[in-house]
Structure 1
Amino acid sequence: MIERLSNRIAIHLCHSNGKIEDTEIVKYGVEITLRGITKFIFLLFIGIYLNILPILILTTLSFSILRIFSGGFHFSSYVKCLLFSVTTLLFLSYCAILLGNFYTKDKEILHNIIILTTTISLILLLFFGPKINKDRPYQNKSKVFLIVSMVIILSGSIFCFLLHNSVVVIAIQLGILFQSLTLIRVKHIQ
């Protein structure tokens, strides 16, 4: 459904601008945008319903910002992606709330969590590198994506050291760590 709608929008936009040769590129951009909006609306309603919207947004933002530049695993269908990502982001948000409330007073443990998640995320990024979708424009700029991804991870961690809210810190770190884990290439076992 989203693919057909994206195709129609792209054809309309490209024909009205006289750039028919750009239809596939525009279709890709529209499709990614529509899928992102759909996920966001889905997460918004669930976050409001479960009364965890601020933490869910933080976890999702930290995951999404890094994912733009680092890429990662993709499911074969949008529905699988939607279900897995929503379920995982909800789980991580609840973990952030539980762990953050548990470690509210102990800043040393919180700092160790930041250091540990940052180190794991950087190692995964360096070992597996950005995993950019082959259909994405500029996918051949992997060094740029790698550097930007490293800056995002390090900036997020430095920002977390400055925060005093343990739930927020853990939400951001779990989002970054989860995205970094999607870089791992898993071979299919037959």
Structure 2
Amino acid sequence: MLKMISEDFSFILVRNRLISEEDREVYIYGIELLLTGLVTTLFLIFLGIIFNQLAFTLLFMLIMVTVRGYSGGYHANSYNRCFLVTSLGCLVGIVLSMRLQVALKLGASLVFLIIALVVLGYVGSINSFKNPKTLEEMKKRKRKVRLLISFNAGLAGLFILSNSEAYGVYYFAIAYTLFFITLLMVIELLQRRYLDEYMERKSS
């Protein structure tokens, strides 16, 4: 549906001579990307409101945009799948945040943070096939990822040390989202390893 809306809107732009026919595909891609981001954002906010977990949702989106924007990782083959993966990831986090008791939430948060710090700290960032970066750009991205995860982990640590149950949603949201980003990165690394092995077997 979003594809159709993007195509219709780009056609209007072409018809009104605001863009050329040659540039239409670029605008279709950009409009669809914008609409997908908007729909995903509104849906996640909706989830946060109906489950009374708006703070969790906002932190989830903020960390996903900042950290994942530099770390890279698994990307779905279509916008619909991307929407599904992101929404499902957020929903699982919301349910866990609501259901886990304080002690379990704290324990899970510590485990999530340790895993994220080790994996994200070591890997840093994964280069994209679609939009590859130079070696120097990748070094900068890895530094930014390590800085961001250190900041977020430190913030979660402050919430934990406050020893207040009211801050549970905050440190769990940070820890869970970093773990979710780590999981997406591991999936991408495994996919690439499997692809490399498959290509080697095929060529031999």
**TM-score band, normalised by the shorter chain?**
0.7 to 0.9
Is the Cα–Cα contact under 8 Å of residues 69 and 146 in structure 1 kept in the other structure?
Answer: yes
**Structure 2 CA distance, aligned partners of 1:154 and 1:21?**
45
Alpha carbons of 1:94 and 1:116: their partners in 2 closer, same or farther (altered >3 Å)? same
Looking at structure 1, the residues matched to 4 and 156 of structure 2 have their Cα atoms a distance apart, in angstroms, of: 41
Map of 2:69 onto structure 1:
68
Q: What percent of counterpart residues are identical?
A: 22
- Size of the alignment, in residue pairs? 182
Distance 1:76 1:166 in 2: 35
Q: CA RMSD in A?
A: 3.4
Q: 2:180 aligns to what?
A: 178
Distance 2:51 2:23 in 1: 42
How far, CA to CA, are the matches of 2:139 and 2:8 in structure 1?
A: 34
TM-score (norm 1): 0.73
Task: Provide the secondary structure at the position in 1 that maps to 2:185.
Answer: coil
Structure 1 partner of 2:86: 85
Q: Note the C-alpha offset of 1:43.
A: 1.5
Gaps of 5+ in 2: 199-204
**Structure 1's 49 and 59: CA in aligned 2 closer, same or farther, altered over 3 A?**
same
Counterpart residue identity of residue 68, structure 1: G
Other structure's SS at 1:31 match: helix
Are residues 1:145 and 2:141 paired?
Answer: yes
Aligned-pair distance for 1:41?
A: 1.3
Any idea what the Cα deviations from partners look like across 1:69-109, whole Å, max 9, x if unmatched?
122212222222222221121112222344462357x7x98
**Aligned residue runs from structure 1 range 1-190, under 5 A:** 1-6=1-6, 9=9, 12=13, 16=18, 27-99=28-100, 101-102=102-103, 114-123=113-122, 125-126=123-124, 129-132=125-128, 134=130, 136=131, 139-140=133-134, 141-163=137-159, 164=162, 165-184=167-186, 185=189, 186=191, 187=194
Query: Which amino acid in structure 2 is aligned with residue 171 of structure 1?
Result: A
Q: Which has the higher contact order (CA 8 A, sep 6+)?
A: 1
> Deviation of residue 156 (structure 1)?
0.9
Q: Which has the higher helix share?
A: 2
Cα gap change, 1:25 to 1:154, in 2 (>3 Å): farther
In structure 2, what is the Cα distance between the partners aligned to 1:121 and 1:177? Answer: 9
Q: Alpha carbons of 1:32 and 1:175: their partners in 2 closer, same or farther (altered >3 Å)? A: same
